[in-house]
Copies of this chain bind each other. A is one copy, B any other.
Amino acid sequence: MITQVVIGIVCGAVVLTAGILIGHFGITKSGSSAPSWVKDLAKDVDESLIEKFMSEVDNIQIKENLRELTKVPHMATTPGDEKTVQLMLNRWQDKETGLDQAWREEYLVYLSFPDPKKPNKVTVVSPTDTVLHTAREKEKLYPPDQDDPDVVQPYAAYSPAGHPKGKLVYANQGRLIDYQKLNETVDLRGTIAITRYGGERRAVTAINAAPYGIVGMLIYMDLMDINNGLMSDVNETYPHSWYLPPSGVKRGSFKLEYGDALTPYLAAKDDTYRIPVENITGIPPFPIQPIGFEDAYRLICELGGEAAPGPWQGAFKCTYNLGGPGFKDSSIFNNSDVKMAIFNYEELRNSTNVMGVIRGSVEPDRYVIFGNHRDGWVNGAVDPSSGTSVFLEVTRLLGRMVKQGKWRPRRSMIFGSWGAEEFRITGSTEYTEQYFTKLSERTVAYINVDIAVLGDDAYRAAAIPSLQNVIFKATKQVDTPGLDSISLYETWKKYSSRTSPAHGHIPKMGSVSNALSDYAAFVQYLGITSMDMAYSYNTNKTNAHYYPAYHTAYETFNYASKFIDPGFFRHQAVGRTAGNILIRLADSLVLPLNCSDYAELLEDYLSTTVKLYQNKLEAKKISMEPLKRAVASFRTAATHLDEVIHGLDLANETPLKIRRINDQLMLLDRAFLNPLAFADKYATRSFALPPVSSV
């Protein structure tokens, strides 16, 4: 009986327990059980996924991307450009590694080209019109660099056509002070100036010159500024090194304002209103032609007149004279003119952005945008295809994770392969103009990679300061190629650093206020938190202003794979970093943006401004106190927001509270926009990013 009772109790207990277990685990609680999305909404960035992503970034794949991208010249709107459009579309629409969606977006933009049937000519002609010297029309061929008929003749885009003729003068870097100085000694009316690249924005060298009566301009890269004095292609320059051969010529856009010239502030669609061509501003008032240093050498070393000032002297083995104007009496060019025959023309062309998207799972209406331009002046193996080859590798890995159903970002990722950047940041600007409102309201950040690798020394980034923290985090997780276990962060700091009141000795970030690539319209016009990055050379070890083949026909796969990044490990490092930052921005529950680092920049601006202007302003009875109070108030608010973020109990906060904080972080840069800040420059509306003024 007892046994039976015990058995009964035991059985009862077992049954009860089974019941409890069934009731607790087996039956979903209606009403009070958590909806499935509760967990998804609280999900934070997955560190192991980032690690896996980084480990998969493939240097060989990047190399093959670059080879493919640079097979032919791909200047904007040419057949070569269309080939790269197709390549991007194929990759992004691939069934196994493509994005959710990819498409082309066209803009009808106003571009400038030389006439292949009437090449631009620069000659020295005697008083009897005998041609004494002709500048080289095309760059010299060094196998295996292909002699493609589509290599565009070196020219200055947006230089007007024309046939100026006049005595030559040497105007140093074409800065305002250079012309002022030159004008003290030489009558500049009717002259042609030769200037060196490197001291002033391209268009401005000509705009500065016009008031002095100068009628034409030649521009070149001095040996001193690019080649550390090396000039022989027999054993010194490319193909023997990365240095510029004597015939190499830097192309470029000589247009000051970014975006399509005929449709300011509006997307250049077929039916968009266009301003009259004669209303375009910020382009050269007279013809300009860039030439190689072999020609510049001939011209400059024959110049007469007084010797140019010390700082104007370059690396040619002669004294740089100002010009009589014109050549010296002892020269075979004595009394001769320089004659330019420029046949550039402008026309409306269809330029393509290739767009791609991975739709966000939780916040599809928040965008992280990653962009790179696609067009190069010639084969563009460094500018921009080093970036494009990395771009394709990053999107391949992300696309594959999506296609395999392993991952989908919290926020949407938008990828922009911009067209016609070389003509002055055209495709990306038109995109921001077309989607102005949506992008302003929804974009968390814009990551730009133009040139991914242009040297072997260190990674570096230029960014809005609120991104500093996430950039540092990513670069600490990536090894410096060739220096295992030393992070990109450490080598960057070695290359360029500063002392932060909050963080001590840290890498120094560059500024994105200079409108040098596709971040321009995002950050200046829309006020979107933006960054740019590249692996660069050590500027302390060379006088070169930039990598020597920049914008020349020598930017080929051969050049890049031999002299820029032989193993493509630096490309790989940039891909790892860009992807790391991109995933963090897209997946972090709380956006990895930091306001206090912004406050540090504003305080730095303030102290500089006080140093420079306080006395002058006080003399005019203008107080700086309101500005000081504003910066202090920003600091207080930033500190408070930091505290709120640190105090969050991430697992238990409501999704709308997190969203509120994220919106504050996302919209911070928009608060600095003021269309009235620089009344005549609507495109530079952010007063946290003053426009670069001309010297």
Contact = CB atoms under 8 A, between A and B. Distances in A.
Interface of A: 8, 11-12, 15-25, 27, 29, 32-35, 37-38, 40-41, 265, 271, 362-365, 437, 441, 623, 625-626, 652, 654-656, 659-660, 663, 667, 670-671, 673, 675-676, 682
Given A18-B19, A19-B23, A437-B667, A34 B37 contact: no
The 6 closest A-B pairs by CB, nearest first: A19-B19, A23-B23, A20-B23, A23-B24, A16-B19, A271-B626
Given A8-B11, A365-B663, A655-B656, 12 more contacts: A12-B12, A15-B16, A17-B19, A19-B19, A19-B22, A19-B23, A20-B23, A33-B34, A34-B35, A35-B652, A271-B623, A271-B625
A412 to B, nearest CB: 11
Contacts of A364: 660
6 contacts: A17-B19, A19-B19, A19-B22, A271-B626, A362-B656, A363-B656
Contacts of A654: 35, 37, 40-41, 362, 655
Contacts of A27: 20, 24
A371 to B, nearest CB: 23
Contacts of A265: 676
A260 to B, nearest CB: 15
Given A15-B15, A660-B364, A33 B35 contact: no
A669 B55 CA distance: 46
A266 to B, nearest CB: 9
Given A362-B656, A660-B365, A676-B265, A667 B441 contact: yes
The main secondary structure of chain A at its interface with chain B is: helix
A167 to B, nearest CB: 45
Number of this chain's copies in the assembly equals 2
Contacts of A365: 660, 663
Given A271-B626, A655-B656, A29 B24 contact: yes
Contact of A437 (B17, B671, B675): B671
Contacts of A21: 19, 23
A671 B118 CA distance: 48
Contacts of A37: 654
Contact of A12 (B11, B29, B362): B11
Contacts of A660: 363-365
A271 B629 CA distance: 11
Contacts of A626: 271
A324 to B, nearest CB: 49
Nearest to A17: B19
Nearest to A11: B12
B15 A656 contact: no
A61 to B, nearest CB: 35
Contact of A38 (B29, B34, B625): B34
A40 B656 CA distance: 11
Contacts of A41: 654-656
Contacts of A652: 35
A608 to B, nearest CB: 21
Nearest to A34: B34
B35 A35 contact: no
A444 to B, nearest CB: 14
A327 B237 CA distance: 97
Contacts of A35: 34, 38, 652, 654
A42 to B, nearest CB: 9
A437 B441 CA distance: 12
A625 to B, nearest CB: 7
A33 B652 CA distance: 12
A33 B22 contact: no
Contact of A16 (B18, B33, B40, B671): B18
Contacts of A20: 19-20, 22-23, 27
B33 A29 contact: yes
A654 B37 CA distance: 7
A34 B36 CA distance: 10
Contact of A659 (B8, B659, B667): B659
A8 B40 CA distance: 46
Contacts of A16: 15-16, 18-19, 22
A118 B441 CA distance: 55
Question: For A19, A22, A34, A364, which residue has the most chain B Cβ atoms within 10 angstroms?
Answer: A19
A363 B663 CA distance: 12
A624 B654 CA distance: 48
Nearest to A663: B365
